[in-house]
Amino acid sequence: MVRVLIGGIVALAVAMGVGRFAFTPILPAMQAATGLGADGAGLLASLNYLGYFVGALGAGLVPHGAVRTAVFRTALIASVTSTAGMGFTDGMAAWGVLRFVSGLASAGIFILGIAMVLDALARAGREAWNGWLYTGVGLGIAASGLFVALMGDRLGWRGDWLWLGLVCTGAGALSWLWVTDPPPVPSSAGAAAGTPAKPAGGTSLRSAPLLLLTLAYFLEGAGYIVTGTFLVAILKTMPETARLGEAAWMVTGLAAIPSGLIWAAAGRRLGLWRALILAHLVQAAGILLPMTGQPAAAVVSAALYGGTFIGIVTLSFTLGRQLSGGASARVIGALTAVYGLGQIIGPLPAGVIVARTGSFDSALLGAAAAVLVGALLLLAGSWAARRPAPEVAVGAGPA
């Protein structure tokens, strides 16, 4: 089971930490060498998240067994190929295709890989290990930031993409070998499990708390991704923080590694609603801190940002499953979809605003505002969840 868990962690590091997020530390060098503007960078980011959205929708249709293993392995190939391919091209059209393919691949690896690893851990009675799987995202972010910091000046932006793709090819081989899906075992229980569950206890999938959580998660996707796309570029534009760009991204990754475990513990202690609201407030502060132009604030910003975005995903999924009353698969699918839409939308206006104003301040204010509005929606959801359900008189008909 240790090998399966390691394979899953590496897969997330390859697809999410590098394939998806290495764009952030490499972006300033790409802009300096090619003249890529903030609006173009925002478009490339949105195309990547569009690919993720499409891939997330398709991943839910992949059957268990050999097909799921084959699709997962195909996604691994597409991820490392699209990462290395960025170094072979220098045009927006080719970059756009590669970022879209990278998004497709990251969705397949994230959704199918996690499912296969969690299934394997469940069969072995190792569910307590589940939280460690998500550390792969932070590991990949930290590793890509370290690589660019150490080698970026020597290799240039093309060499960064090429060598990261090569490293991911070697690391991804472990995931290829260790993460597989056995054929499904037909049984009455399995048949029952395949039947769509009905919400238990009268809980509605259209309940106010669940709708408010979904709206908040959409805003989180739109807000967090602005920093996730431009953090290093933001720091590089200010003389006081220019030397901290890649180092701050490493701090982001290091803070992200334990964040899922930390916020899950906070959810057990404070309650899921309160912990989720607190995570939003902390993240909004992290988004705004780079506006001060202070080096210390930049490092704290990276830590707060990295220490919350995976935790918010963990808490939101947990709360969504709790509110679903037995229809958790549908709720998680809906949350993933709206989060993906938010990620597609967020970078586009941010990039346009930066291109027109020459400053990231308005984009950061907008991103923080989206996250804070999400916190207000969660506060309303918490209040709605505490309200007693209306009692219906026995035998009462329509009024």
Task: Look up the CATH number of the domain holding residue 173.
Answer: 1.20.1250.20
Q: Are residues 210 and 321 in the same domain?
A: yes
Tens of pLDDT, residue by residue over 226-254, are 998 889 888 988 888 888 888 898 999 99
pLDDT of the residue at 184: 67
pLDDT of the residue at 394: 37
Largest CA distance in the chain: 78
Asked whether residue 174 is domain-assigned, the answer is yes
Evaluate whether 245 touches 235 at the Cβ level (below 8 Å): yes
pLDDT of the residue at 391: 44
Q: How far is CA 280 from the centre of its chain?
A: 15
Evaluate whether 40 touches 164 at the Cβ level (below 8 Å): no
CA distance 109 to 222: 22
pLDDT of the residue at 153: 81
pLDDT of the residue at 388: 65
User: Domain span at residue 353?
Assistant: 203-386
SS3 labels along 249-299: HHHHHHHHCCHHHHHHHHHHHHCHHHHHHHHHHHHHHHHHHHHHCCHHHHH
Question: Considering the entire predicted model, what is its pTM?
Answer: 0.81
pLDDT of the residue at 396: 37
In the numeric block, the tokens 């991820």 are attached to 79
Tens of pLDDT, residue by residue over 91-103, are 899 999 999 999 9
Q: Are residues 287 and 226 in the same domain?
A: yes
pLDDT of the residue at 114: 84
Asked whether residue 396 is domain-assigned, the answer is no
N residues, the chain: 399
Asked whether residue 394 is domain-assigned, the answer is no
Q: Are residues 235 and 369 in the same domain?
A: yes
Evaluate whether 179 touches 113 at the Cβ level (below 8 Å): yes
Q: Are residues 165 and 243 in the same domain?
A: no
Q: Are residues 285 and 356 in the same domain?
A: yes
What DSSP character marks residue 186?
A: -
CA distance 320 to 222: 19
Give residue 38's identity as a one-letter amino acid code.
Answer: A
Q: Are residues 30 and 97 in the same domain?
A: yes
Number of domains in the chain: 2
Evaluate whether 303 touches 283 at the Cβ level (below 8 Å): no
The residue ranges of the chain whose pLDDT is under 70 are 184-206, 325-329, 388-399
pLDDT of the residue at 229: 87
Asked whether residue 80 is domain-assigned, the answer is yes
pLDDT of the residue at 75: 96
pLDDT of the residue at 242: 85
149 to each of 143, 153, 243, 246, how far by Cα in Å?
Answer: 10, 8, 10, 5
SS3 65: coil
DSSP string covering 297-362:
HHHHHHHHHHTTHHHHHHHHHHHHHHHHTS-HHHHHHHHHHHHHHHHHHTHHHHHHHHHHHS-SHH
Asked whether residue 320 is domain-assigned, the answer is yes
* Last residue within a domain, chosen from 127, 148, 181: 181
Q: Are residues 99 and 221 in the same domain?
A: no
Q: Are residues 214 and 272 in the same domain?
A: yes
CA distance 29 to 164: 15
pLDDT of the residue at 220: 95
Q: Are residues 11 and 152 in the same domain?
A: yes
pLDDT of the residue at 243: 85
Asked whether residue 190 is domain-assigned, the answer is no
pLDDT of the residue at 389: 54
